[in-house]
Amino acid sequence: MKTVVLLSLSVSLLASCATPKVGQHPAANTPVEATAKEKLLKSEATDDLDDYADAGQVNDPLEKLNRVTFWLNDGFYTVFFRPLSKGYEKVLPKFVRRGIDNVFENVKYPVRMANCVLQGKGERAGLETQKFVTNTLIGVGGLVRVSDKINPIADIPAEDCGQTLAQWGFGHGPYIVIPLFGPSSLREFVGLAGDYAAHPANYGLYLYNGNGNHDWMYIPPPSNTLRSMPDQLEKYDAATQEAVDPYLSARTAYIQQRDEAAKK
């Protein structure tokens, strides 16, 4: 009888030790928690794969070379472009930088207008012209973007040659990483060349020096590059900083952004 009682008490004691008290969590290595951790890891892995969903869709026959160029660009951005960009932001107040941006964007009117026409968007070309005239005359040569407060010229999607080629049915072609410039594709590279040729800010200044001679001053192109640098680096960082594979992340972000722009 005593043996039976002792066995009963032992079983009860073991059961009470094995059962968690109210408010007490199971041990950290229980099968239930292990399963939850596995699910979390699988979810994170799935999210990472979703970020690179284009990996098998983008035509990237030069991936090995592109990766080398990508990392060379990244190093150059860190050593040269970032300090230059930070210096630009530190020297010039934000309202001055905004005014410079407004002027260069206003001068880019021929690029936007021409591509509106090439895409058959006559109404939008007219709005672009109205926007240019308004900002030039009322906005003091474009320093102040008055158009932002006037409908329907406040939010006109900017058109470029890459979008025009997409509208004409041209696909991206092979993906390429251009030295210093960064992500692109064959279509977008051709479009970039067209935009560069049509942008008045890339022509430089041909000035009369007062002695019967003329001087060619190559000032606007470098200035345009410098003023756009902070925004470009910000976009680059947003696409790559927390990425498992920065190369694929930058490629995905670029292709998606250009595809979205072509639809507007």
Phi and psi at 218, nearest 5°, equal -90, 70
User: What are the tens digits of pLDDT across the range 64-107?
Assistant: 999 999 999 999 999 999 999 999 999 999 999 999 999 999 99
Residue 215 lies inside a defined structural domain of this protein: yes
| Number of domains present in the structure of the chain | 1
Residue 12 lies inside a defined structural domain of this protein: no
Residue 52 lies inside a defined structural domain of this protein: no
Check pLDDT > 50 for residue 44: no
Residue 147 lies inside a defined structural domain of this protein: yes
Q: Which residues of 19-49 are buried (b: 16+ CB within 10 A; e: fewer)?
A: eeeeeeeeeeeeeeeeeeeeeeeeeeeeeee
> Helix %, strand %, coil % for the chain, to 5?
65, 5, 30
Residue 13 lies inside a defined structural domain of this protein: no
Residue 171 lies inside a defined structural domain of this protein: yes
Query: Could you list the residue range(s) of the whole structural domain that residue 89 is in?
Result: 59-263
Check pLDDT > 70 for residue 204: no
**DSSP-derived secondary structure for 27-70:** PTTSHHHHHHHHHHHHHHHHHHHHHTTTTTTS--TTHHHHHHHH
Residue 40 lies inside a defined structural domain of this protein: no
What pTM, to 2 d.p., does this model score? 0.74
User: What are the tens digits of pLDDT across the range 186-200?
Assistant: 999 999 999 998 988
Residue 27 lies inside a defined structural domain of this protein: no
